[in-house]
Structure 1
Amino acid sequence: MRIRLERLGPGHAEEILTGQDEALAREIIGRPWDRERLAEFLARARAGTRTARWSSSPRSRRAAAGRSAGEG
């Protein structure tokens, strides 16, 4: 299985809104995303603020892949 990581940005909004699970969203952020709040979050993520602790280094990609495969 291959996992591709990419930094979230405004171009992901529709896919996130369409695919969000209401129960999971309530558990994680207290309610499902609405268009306006999601746009603000994604703009901050793209700008690289604290919301976007992102690294595209091979080590980070390996660690994320391990976690998604049930390791770590």
Structure 2
Amino acid sequence: MPDRIDSTDPAGVDYGWVMQVTFALTIVVGAPIVAVASLGVTVPTWNEKAIFAVRVGAVVWFLTAIGVYLYARRRR
């Protein structure tokens, strides 16, 4: 009997778990980091505030994603 079409082999890392944990940690850890980082920067308009938050948040998200992936790979 042939293999089922919907069977997969995730090669050791559960990427769904990595994405979910990255999302949650980025919100929990990233919001305070953006708030603290904004204390030393003058951002007079809402547009500049949004751009600042996106730039800092992107760095936080990227570093969090790498950390969560490495943790998942090492733990597996």
Query: TM-score, structure 1 length as denominator?
Result: 0.26
Q: Which has the larger Rg?
A: 2
Which structure has more helix as a fraction of its residues?
2
Q: Which has the higher relative contact order, 1 or 2, with Cα contacts under 8 A spaced 6 or more apart?
A: 2
Query: TM-score, structure 2 length as denominator?
Result: 0.25
